[in-house]
Structures are given as structure tokens and as C-alpha cells.
């Protein structure tokens, strides 16, 4: 029997459903994507580590909304580009016209704490017998509640951007 931890992610199914809802209602589906090395998009359009892509039928060709990747061809300033976005990097899908859609939680990638590592070993020991690496989340490693460090305030949006609304 399969439990919730073994099942596939609901994210690609929800993306497909909201894409279909947008197109059925004459809206333009946009996806907001968190960009890293696994995302193939034109880097010149990435702002603050994110890019918003129009995935409508009119703006794309060969669109595939798969379980692992969103793939399509699109023109950017007249230049054809092949786009490939891991579904796990999609942080929202919404209708351009009214902002209705869904935001997804952003997975925090664990970082390796290297402060106690010695050259030639992975665990800080000099014998090199164990290859254990301690993983510390980026949130836990940085600023705590009582350390007096204030996180930087987010920049205000540069232009009008639709707000996401919950669909029930």
C-alpha cells in the first residue's frame, strides 16, 4: 500500500489543472520560477533569482507540462529559445488578467556547514574513517531570533504585478 510520503508530488497536477482553467476561461497562464542551474531560461530576463514566463498557447510551441519538467519553445525579443523548468522550481501559476492561481512552497536546499571541516576529510576528523557530512538548513545556520541580526527587507515590486488569490 502506498502512503502519502511515497506518492508523487501534487505540484505538476495542480499546474496542469490551473493551466487548463486559465485557457478554458480565456486567461493568460503565467508561471513564476525560482531560477538556479537546473533551470534553462534566458538569464538576461531573470530578476532577483526569479523569472515569470507566459506559458499560453499563443506564446509557446511544443509545450509539455510533464511531472518532472515544463518544456516549451518561445521567442524572447524575437529570438527562439528552448525553455526547460523543473516542476519543483515553479513557485506559482496564475492568470495574468486577475491574479488568480496558486503559489507553492519553496523548498529550502540544505547547505553543508564547512566551519569544522579539515582539509582532506568530510567530517572534520583527521583519520578520515567516516564520510559523514552534517547538513544544516540555510534558515538554521544564519540568523536566529535572539542573535540581534535583522533579515534584509524585501525590495518593493518594480511594477504592477498581479496578486495571487486562493481558488476554492
Q: pLDDT of 36-45, one tens digit each?
A: 999 999 999 9
Q: Which residue has the higher pLDDT, 107 or 152?
A: 107
Start-to-end C-alpha separation, the chain: 30
d(CA 107, CA 51) in angstroms, rounded, equals: 17
User: Residue 51: which pLDDT band, with cuts at 50, 70 and 90?
Assistant: very high
Average pLDDT over residues 138-163: 50
User: Residue 153: which pLDDT band, with cuts at 50, 70 and 90?
Assistant: low
108 falls within a domain? no
d(CA 150, CA 130) in angstroms, rounded, equals: 37
Q: Residue 164 pLDDT > 50, yes or no? A: yes
d(CA 120, CA 58) in angstroms, rounded, equals: 54
DSSP class of residue 26?
A: T
DSSP class of residue 14?
A: H
Residue 96 cell numbers, joined: 495574468
96 falls within a domain? yes
Could you read off the pLDDT of 96-138 as tens digits, one per residue? 999 999 999 886 655 444 444 444 444 444 444 444 444 444 4
Could you read off the pLDDT of 82-106 as tens digits, one per residue? 999 999 999 999 999 999 999 998 8
118 falls within a domain? no
Range of the domain at 59: 11-103
- Residues forming a β-bridge with 93: 31, 102
Q: How many domains does the chain have?
A: 1
For cell 506559458, name the residue: 55
168 falls within a domain? no
pTM score: 0.62
146 falls within a domain? no
113 falls within a domain? no
164 falls within a domain? no
70 falls within a domain? yes
Cβ(64)–Cβ(57) under 8 Å? no
Residue 154 cell numbers, joined: 524585501
Give Cα 108 to chain centroid, integer Å: 10
User: Residue 8: which pLDDT band, with cuts at 50, 70 and 90?
Assistant: confident
pLDDT at 124: 42
pLDDT at 99: 93
- For residue 24, the domain's CATH number is 2.30.30.220
Amino acid at each position: 500500500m502506498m502512503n502519502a510520503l511515497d506518492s508523487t508530488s501534487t505540484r505538476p497536477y495542480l499546474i496542469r489543472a490551473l493551466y487548463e482553467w486559465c485557457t478554458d476561461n480565456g486567461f493568460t497562464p503565467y508561471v513564476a520560477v525560482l531560477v538556479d542551474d537546473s533551470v534553462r531560461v534566458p538569464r538576461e530576463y531573470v530578476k532577483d533569482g526569479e523569472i515569470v514566463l507566459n506559458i499560453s498557447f499563443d506564446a509557446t510551441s511544443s509545450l509539455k507540462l510533464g511531472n518532472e519538467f515544463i518544456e516549451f519553445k518561445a521567442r524572447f525579443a524575437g529570438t527562439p529559445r528552448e525553455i526547460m523548468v523543473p516542476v519543483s522550481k515553479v513557485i506559482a501559476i496564475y492568470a495574468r488578467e486577475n491574479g488568480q492561481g496558486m503559489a507553492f512552497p519553496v523548498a529550502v536546499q540544505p547547505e553543508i556547514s564547512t566551519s569544522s571541516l579539515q582539509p582532506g576529510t568530510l567530517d572534520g576528523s583527521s583519520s578520515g574513517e567516516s564520510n559523514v557530512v552534517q547538513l544544516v538548513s540555510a534558515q538554521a545556520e544564519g540568523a536566529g531570533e535572539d542573535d540581534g541580526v535583522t533579515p534584509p527587507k524585501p525590495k518593493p515590486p518594480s511594477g504592477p504585478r498581479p496578486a495571487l488569490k486562493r481558488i476554492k
